[in-house]
């Protein structure tokens, strides 16, 4: 068995059938499929059972109480029997040869993980993300060579991870409530700890962006992203100023992305919170790094200063983003 595919499920009946079909129809057949049903209240469990009756590669974890994304994935990783781990969200699908391609590359180079580009899917239209457009995907093999990779959008699912690599580096998901940002810490740790990884500039995963129930379309758990960075900061020991600078850029981008999504009533309290956090950081590696764009340095200064004018600017920025549909 080469890959353990983990599918976390919560009320996904609208998308679940296509998701599971895309996994069981993979050209790579030497896989196990671990599906975690986290107390769905719709017909998700019935759909999973029907598939499991026809395909013995499917193993079901059916929770008797809602545990949350991080706990479920950690549990499934411990149960996984294959050499590699892959995660597929229940509202997404994967290209039919994704696992075969990733395993082929992984075995050729004995990589800790292999990560591909992906399609963003909206209204049944696919758009390539171009996740690695600024990196040379042929020569990168660790974060010292390209610290910019720390800043890419968290996307843990377009990849396979060597199970031994995850265990050796104690890489797991934060076991916080619901499904909010746990991928942020997981991806950061993978890039930070890997001695040897490979990026593939081919989209092999279909990431659905118009599911109204997706965690990326909710805004109530506004401070969970801050908790993720508490974990990252307690773990992070920068090997040089370059890596320290891009970790700060990653945190800045994550906070601003979250700020665009949250309800207006949280605007001030959220900006106050991240301003207090940034004031306690050493931003010298960030401001002195000529590879950090000037506009990002200005944003960081604005947050640190946290004046009334800054709040007006950020609220205007948020309004413009929403108006333009970005």
pLDDT tens digits, residue range 48-84? 999 999 999 999 999 878 788 999 999 999 999 999 9
Structure tokens at 95: 């290209």
Dist CA 131 CA 214 (whole Å): 21
Beta bridge partners of 43: none
Per-residue pLDDT of the chain (326 residues; tens, 9 = 90+): 899 999 999 999 999 999 999 999 999 999 999 999 999 999 999 999 999 999 999 999 998 787 889 999 999 999 999 999 999 999 999 999 999 999 999 988 889 999 999 999 988 888 888 888 766 666 678 898 889 999 988 999 999 999 999 999 999 998 877 667 889 999 999 999 999 999 999 999 999 987 555 554 455 567 889 989 999 999 898 889 999 999 999 999 999 888 887 888 888 889 899 999 999 999 999 999 999 999 999 999 989 987 777 777 777 766 766 665 54
Residues 3-217, CATH architecture: Alpha-Beta Complex (3.90)
Whether the Cβ atoms of residue 61 and residue 77 lie closer than 8 Å to each other: no
User: What pTM does this model have?
Assistant: 0.90
Which segments of the chain belong to CATH 3.90.550.10? Answer: 3-217
Structure tokens at 246: 């891009």
- pLDDT score for 326: 47
Dist CA 74 CA 106 (whole Å): 22
- Angle CA 250–234–305, to nearest 5: 50
């Amino acid at each position: 068995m080469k890959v353990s595919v983990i599918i976390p499920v919560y009320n996904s009946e609208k998308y679940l059938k296509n998701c599971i079909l895309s996994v069981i129809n993979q050209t790579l057949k030497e896989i196990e499929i671990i599906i975690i049903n986290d107390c769905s209240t719709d017909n998700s469990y019935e759909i999973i059972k029907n598939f499991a009756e026809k395909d013995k590669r499917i193993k079901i974890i059916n929770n008797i109480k809602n545990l949350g994304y991080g706990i479920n994935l950690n549990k499934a990783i411990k149960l996984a029997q294959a050499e590699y781990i892959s995660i597929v969200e229940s509202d997404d699908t994967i290209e039919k040869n994704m696992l075969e391609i990733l395993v082929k590359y992984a075995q050729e180079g004995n990589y800790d993980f292999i990560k591909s580009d992906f399609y963003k899917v909206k209204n049944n239209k696919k758009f390539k993300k171009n996740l690695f457009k600024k990196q040379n995907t042929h020569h990168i093999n660790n974060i010292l060579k390209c610290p910019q990779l720390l800043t890419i959008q968290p996307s843990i699912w377009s990849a396979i991870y060597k199970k031994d690599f995850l265990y050796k580096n104690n890489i797991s998901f934060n076991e916080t409530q619901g499904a909010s940002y746990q991928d942020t810490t997981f991806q950061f740790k993978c890039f930070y700890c890997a001695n040897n990884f490979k990026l593939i500039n081919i989209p092999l995963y279909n990431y659905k962006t118009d599911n109204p129930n997706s965690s990326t379309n909710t805004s109530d758990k506004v401070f969970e992203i801050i908790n993720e960075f508490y974990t990252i900061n307690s773990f992070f020991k920068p090997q040089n100023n370059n890596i320290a600078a891009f970790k700060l850029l990653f945190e800045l981008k994550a906070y601003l992305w979250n700020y665009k999504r949250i309800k207006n009533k949280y605007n001030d309290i959220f900006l106050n919170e991240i301003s207090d956090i940034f004031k306690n950081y050493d931003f010298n590696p960030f401001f002195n790094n000529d590879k950090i764009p000037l506009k990002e340095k200005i944003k960081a200064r604005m947050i640190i200063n946290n004046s009334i004018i800054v709040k007006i600017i950020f609220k205007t920025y948020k309004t413009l983003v929403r108006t333009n549909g970005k």
